[in-house]
Amino acid sequence: MASYSVIGGTSSEDLAKKIASKLKSKFIKCELRVFPDGESKITLKGTPKGKVIVVQSIYPPVDSNLVRALALVSQARKHSSQVFVVIPYMGYARQDRAFLPGEVITMSLVAKMFKAAGASKIIVVDIHSMIALDHLQIPAKNVSAIGELVKYFKKLKLKDPLVVSPDKGGIERARNFAKLLGVDFIALDKHRDRKTGEVTIRSTDHHEVRGRDVILVDDMISTGGSIVKAAQFLKKQKCGKIYASCTHALLIADAEKKIKKAGVTRIVSTNTIPCKTNIVDISPVIVKALD
């Protein structure tokens, strides 16, 4: 294993410590000061040596965490010609193409900024769209947290479990999850209005869920609208317990409360985003991706 220094951005300090520990590498903490006008001032509490890994998730406040990530990359580049950037949750990945006339493809700009800052390689976890990954103009790798999430669910005593994708777009994710868990899967027919954001489930009947524990699988849970609609539909089909599994739990505002109210027993997420539900550690898959 190569010699690394691991810089832990303020949005991913605990995950960065786990990565540094597994690599037996130096961990460098960041000190953050936010001025009254909102500007961020970052100070590294150590000097990077060898290959440098910057770990910084870009979750809300997205713009602040993005600028901090770019600042850390730029500083790391002063000490090393090889700067690996681990972005567990890549903000702006959903803005990877124009759906309506005049929409800006912000992911394209984000990609250019990381290249300009001096990143050598970027590692992301379960990016929302591979099209977003294609925008990056430097070597990039997307790693999956599905294997680690499945390990968690294998420890639970579930009743005839069934994996469910809240929409057709996530069918491949559900298929992979179900295959590793050794169970069946289905995908619901979800529709989201591009202008209002309103979610509806167009599926009519799924009798195969009756009496079975269900694992709703998604890449991220933001406002929770998709999970809530899916859970309400599955409850009407008289399923057993409902679990919501995702890599990235943004859980904006009262999303967690809404999801629980809809009948979800437990939300299980990874530590790409620090929160109460981040039960699963994804540092092992990130470390493997560094080889």
CATH architecture of the domain with range 146-271: 3-Layer(aba) Sandwich (3.40)
Give the model's pLDDT for residue 113. Answer: 96
Closest CA to 280 of 247, 241, 242, 243: 247
Helices (H), the chain: 13-23, 62-77, 106-117, 130-135, 146-154, 171-181, 225-236, 255-261, 283-289
Residue 37 and residue 44 in contact, taking contact as beta carbons nearer than 8 Å:
no
pTM of the model: 0.92
Alpha carbons 50 and 39: distance in angstroms, whole number = 30
Question: In this predicted structure, what is the pLDDT of residue 2?
Answer: 63
Q: Is 190 a catalytic residue?
A: yes
**Encoded tokens for 116:** 């300009």
Give the pLDDT confidence of 201-215 residue by residue, as tens digits. Answer: 766 667 889 999 999
Q: Distance between CA 248 and CA 261 in Å, rounded?
A: 20
Q: For residue range 150-166, list pLDDT tens digits in order.
A: 999 999 999 999 999 99
Greater pLDDT, 196 or 33: 33
Alpha carbon dihedral 65, 67, 69, 74, in 10-degree steps, equals -170
CB 237 within 8 A of CB 206: yes
DSSP-derived secondary structure for 252-263: -TTHHHHHHHTT
Residue 201 pairs with which residues in a beta bridge?
Answer: 190
Q: What's the average model confidence in pLDDT over 125-140?
A: 90
Q: Which candidate in 190, 241, 258, 261 is catalytic? A: 190
Position 204 scores a pLDDT of 65
- CA atoms of 226 and 37, how far apart (whole Å): 36
Which stretch of 49-58, 131-140, 254-263, 267-276 has the lowest confidence by average pLDDT?
131-140
Q: Give the strands of the sheet with 40-44, arranged side by side.
A: 40-44, 26-34, 4-8, 51-55, 83-87, 121-125, 140-143
* Assigned token pair, 211: 């009496």
Q: Under CATH, which architecture does the 4-145+281-289 domain have?
A: 3-Layer(aba) Sandwich (3.40)
Q: Do domains 4-145+281-289 and 146-271 have the same CATH topology?
A: yes
pLDDT over 60 at 28, yes or no = yes
Domain boundaries, the chain: 4-145+281-289, 146-271
Single-letter amino acid code for the residue at 13 = E
pLDDT grade, residue 75 (50/70/90)? very high
> Lowest-confidence range among 62-76, 91-105, 142-156?
91-105
- Quick: pLDDT tens for 239-275: 999 999 999 999 999 999 999 999 999 999 999 999 9
